[in-house]
Amino acid sequence: MNIAFNKNNIKLISLCIVIGLSICISCTPAEEESDSKVIAEVYDRKLYAEDLEGLVPYGLSTNDSAMLVGSYIDNWMQDASLMHEASRNTPSDLDIDELVKDYRESLILHNYEKILINEFLDSLVTTEELELYYQENEMKFKQKEPLLKVQFVKILTESEDLDLLIESWEDNTDPALLLDYCKRYAHIHMLDSNTWRNFSGLEVHLPQSLKGKNVEQLPKNKIFEEEKFTYLLKILEIVPDGNMAPFEYASVQAKKVILHQRKVKLLNEKKKNIFQEAVRKNQVKTYN
């Protein structure tokens, strides 16, 4: 069946071409002769025993080796069949060489931009810069959902020494012990009382009895059991939706925006300077 090609189809084929480059390392067309034993064949592509050399690490058991080789062959056959279908449905007017050229140039440019950024970008953003951006862009930091500082643990009720967790939680005398226990046993834990979190990040872990409640309706300090889990919940501070995000929360996003703006400015300046240098060297010409 012929496939109608639009921009998305062409993008898919481009992706397949890249995949095909890796396939070709171990995928030999049928017309090419080889003395090696054929392991698998898909249409006109063959996988030879020599293509598997070095695949199995030394010391791997027979069973594990067989599983590794079998998985490799399965993946190869699927990739080879995809490449065959992509090649069969490639439109006649698709310039493969031009696609490869464009992809190569984009990789070269991307790599050089990374070099320029690593070498020349000032990544230090001062508190004063962050505060100024925060003040000048208030609307960007209005919350679409509540923020809260919370401590929360969800743990199987049958967990070992659960009473020790509850005692440490209530006393709050040994945060390190509490964290260590939660890392070993808890299904989910949020113990950093200084971190602002989106309400949705907590809501997804709440028991069914609290689903659908807004943040103001949640218990502020409670230990309770539901189904097979025990929940420990402390809500320390809330910023309702529609309010400005606290500076300590907004500053993280502000820093990302400031650095992105610097990157764009730096790359534009470098592009302009490099072009001017080419003009100075008489390496830029236009023709009627």
> b/e map of 43-68 (b: 16 or more CB within 10 Å)?
eebbbbeebbeeeeeeeeeeeeeeee
| Residue-wise pLDDT tens digits, 132-150 | 999 999 999 999 999 999 9
Query: What pTM did the predictor assign?
Result: 0.65
Q: What is the pLDDT of residue 60?
A: 86
Q: Is CATH 3.10.50 correct for 143-239?
A: yes
Structural domain spans, the chain = 7-93, 95-142+244-288, 143-239
Residues 6+ apart with CB under 8 A from 281: none
| Residue-wise pLDDT tens digits, 54-111 | 898 888 888 988 999 999 999 999 999 999 998 888 888 888 889 899 999 999 999 9
**Which pLDDT band, with edges at 50, 70 and 90, does 200 fall under?**
very high
Residues 6+ apart with CB under 8 A from 204: none
Residue 230 pairs with which residues in a beta bridge? 155, 225
Give the separation between CA 278 and CA 271, rounded to whole angstroms.
Answer: 11
| Residue-wise pLDDT tens digits, 156-177 | 999 999 998 999 899 887 888 8
